Structure 1
Amino acid sequence: MTTRTLHLPVSAPDRVESFVEYATLGESVGYEHVWLPETWGRDAVSVLTRIATETSDIGFGPSVLNVYSRSPALVGQTAASLQELSDGRLRVAVGPSGQAVIEGWHGESFDRPLRRTREFMDVVRAVLSGEVVNYAGDIFSLGGFRLRCDPPEATVPIEAAGMGPKSVELAGRFADGWHATVFTPHGFRDRLEDLERGIDLGDRSRDDVTATLSLTAAVHDDGDLARQRCRNHLAFYVGAMGTYYRESLARQGYEDEAMEIAAAVANDEHERVHEIVDDEMLADLAIAGTPEEAHEQLATWEAIDGLDELAISFPRGATHEEVLTTIDALGPEA
């Protein structure tokens, strides 16, 4: 059975307390976990601290922290602190993000992202063990670091984001979970083969790795408005967030559409985007429509074999009330 979780908006809310409101509503209607991304909005750790102290049962964590802007030792310390604050409800997802974000926004060289991700997870786990960390990798070299507090009693799962075959294989081989986004059902199934190959290479069990898909969703009494929100969201990510979303869509059979979207966004042809992201493509990449339509679409996604966790996400441009409506409408106990 697929678990239903939340993947909160990046920067839409006007205030931090809106994130807390989303999380507490999610807890009340049965979501099992709440994820918070970190890109150009509020930092994830501060907001997650508020969520941890204002909720009691729902799991929480970042999805994802990039592996360039913080050291792995600091992330280990942060994870230990959040695990203590939440009485053991934390999961942490990390990933390399992309060149445009890392070099353009953080001023770091986007060098060897897969190796960096693997070593980053190694160091975070070593820190959380409470033992002295002596680590000699190709990217990171540490000596003598040790937590000056008790390590968490409950193990913190360290999960990894990935879109391409090698990054998904890495998640299967070394991480406690794989985080996927902007996937069609067919594309997700293809990458599951890479995940399972990694699991085999790591001599692990499929039960050791949670496969999580973040899926954009908009529920509104005006179904056309919901679909417009999701079309605009997909256009932004494909057209303005580097090349990796386009490359991923190309692998999933939407290469021409991805290139057309990028060109339309570059030329400010926003109406053209709505033509390119037709109903078939939208249904392949999002949940969008009236409550009745959305529930019908939700059942299709949750029936995907091998999908352990479906994280309901939200489009850019969704209002505070629209996010609340979608959370409530798709809640497991709603």
Structure 2
Amino acid sequence: MTVRSLHLPVAAQPSVDSFVELAALGERYGYEYAWLPETWGRDAVTVLTAIARETDEIGLGSSIVNVYSRSPALLGQTMTTLQEVADGRLRAGIAPSGPAVIEGWHGVEFERPLRRTREYLEIMRAVMSGETVNYDGDIFSLSGFRLRCDPPSEPVPIDAAGMGPKSVELAGRFADGWHAIVFTPEGLENRLEDLRRGAELGDRAPEDVRVTLSVTACALENGARARRLARQHLAFYVGAMGTYYRKSLARQGYEEAATEIAAAWANGEHDRAVERIPDAMLDDLGAAGTPERARKELRKFERIDGVDDVAIGFPRGADRDEIDATIEALAPER
């Protein structure tokens, strides 16, 4: 059975308390997880700690923290501590992110992202086991240390995010779950084949790798407003966030539209970039419109065999009332 979760806003919020309130609202409405992204706003660790202190049941997770700005040992320590604070409700989501963030914001060369992700997975698990860590990888070598506290009583599952065939295969082979974003139903099914192949290479059952799909959603009585917000959000990701999303959409049959959106955005024609998103593309990638329409669109993702969790995300331009309305309209029991 597919569960429904929250992918908390990537856009700036007024305060840490705003994130806590949204997660608490999600808990009240029965959402399974509150996933928190980390880009160049508030850090995920502090916010997740605050959420853990003010909630009791909803699962908590990072989706995602990158594998360049913190060492793998530090991430292992961090997730150990967060699991303690969260009373066993944590899942850790990691991924390379992309060159725009890693090089432009963190000032670190974006190199060997897949190998780096694999080594993070292995080192984090070693750290969180509580045993002495001895690791000799292509990128990292560690020896002689172990946690100076008890390891998590409830092991922390580590998920990996990715869009390309090789990154998804890596998640299937080495991670406890895969996080997907900006996928059409058909495109997701294609990548699920890569996930299954990775699981087989790792001598694992594909169903043991938990699949979380983040879907941009906006459910408002003013359906036109909801769809406009979703279009603006998609145009930003295709136009401003490097080539990853554009290449992914090209693989999914939207190469011409993605190229036009990116070109318009690069020329400063943001309104034109938004207008280049056809209705079919918008519906293929999200769930936006009136509450009735958004619920219908969301179900097409939940019906995909192999998807365990559909996490609703929110357009960057949505205000707090619009986010709250969407959370209520798309609550799991509805």
**3-state SS in 2 of match to 1:288:** strand
Distance 1:61 1:299 in 2: 23
Report deviation, 1:152: 0.6
Asked if 1 retains the 8 angstrom alpha-carbon contact of 2:4 and 2:310, the reply is yes
The aligned counterpart of 1:41 is: 41
Distance 2:124 2:97 in 1: 18
**3-state SS in 2 of match to 1:203:** coil
Report deviation, 1:271: 2.9
Cα deviation per residue 1:305-327 (whole Å; 9 max; x = unaligned)? 11111010011111011111111
Under a length normalisation based on structure 2, what TM-score does the superposition of the two structures give? 0.98
Distance 1:200 1:110 in 2: 29
Aligned AA (1:112): R
The aligned counterpart of 2:247 is: 247
**3-state SS in 1 of match to 2:150:** coil
Cα RMSD (Å): 0.9
Under a length normalisation based on structure 1, what TM-score does the superposition of the two structures give? 0.98
The aligned counterpart of 2:135 is: 135
Cα deviation per residue 1:145-179 (whole Å; 9 max; x = unaligned)? 21111101111000100100000000000000000
Structure 1 residues 139-288: aligned runs within 5 Å: 139-288=139-288
Report deviation, 1:46: 0.3
**1:54 matched to 2:44:** no
The aligned counterpart of 2:316 is: 316
**3-state SS in 2 of match to 1:38:** coil
Distance 1:309 1:299 in 2: 12
Cα deviation per residue 1:55-99 (whole Å; 9 max; x = unaligned)? 000100111110000001111111111111111000001000111
Report deviation, 1:144: 1.4
Matched residues, number:
334
Distance 1:221 1:12 in 2: 24
Distance 2:238 2:272 in 1: 14
The aligned counterpart of 1:301 is: 301
Using the TM superposition, name which of 267-276 and 142-151 deviates more: 267-276
The aligned counterpart of 1:4 is: 4
Unaligned runs of 5+ in 2: none
Report deviation, 1:298: 1.7
**1:105 matched to 2:102:** no
Report deviation, 1:268: 2.3
**3-state SS in 2 of match to 1:326:** helix
Identity of aligned residues (%): 67
Distance 1:229 1:308 in 2: 27
Distance 2:155 2:48 in 1: 18
Report deviation, 1:333: 2.7
**3-state SS in 2 of match to 1:102:** helix
Cα deviation per residue 1:111-164 (whole Å; 9 max; x = unaligned)? 110000000010000000000101110011111121111101111000100100
Unaligned runs of 5+ in 1: none
Distance 2:314 2:32 in 1: 17
Report deviation, 1:272: 1.9
Distance 1:48 1:317 in 2: 23
Cα deviation per residue 1:230-266 (whole Å; 9 max; x = unaligned)? 1000000000001111000000001111110011111
Q: Deviating runs (4+, > 3 A) in structure 1?
A: none
Using the TM superposition, name which of 265-274 and 184-193 deviates more: 265-274
The aligned counterpart of 2:121 is: 121
Distance 1:96 1:186 in 2: 24
Asked if 2 retains the 8 angstrom alpha-carbon contact of 1:11 and 1:42, the reply is no
Asked if 1 retains the 8 angstrom alpha-carbon contact of 2:286 and 2:298, the reply is no
**3-state SS in 2 of match to 1:91:** strand
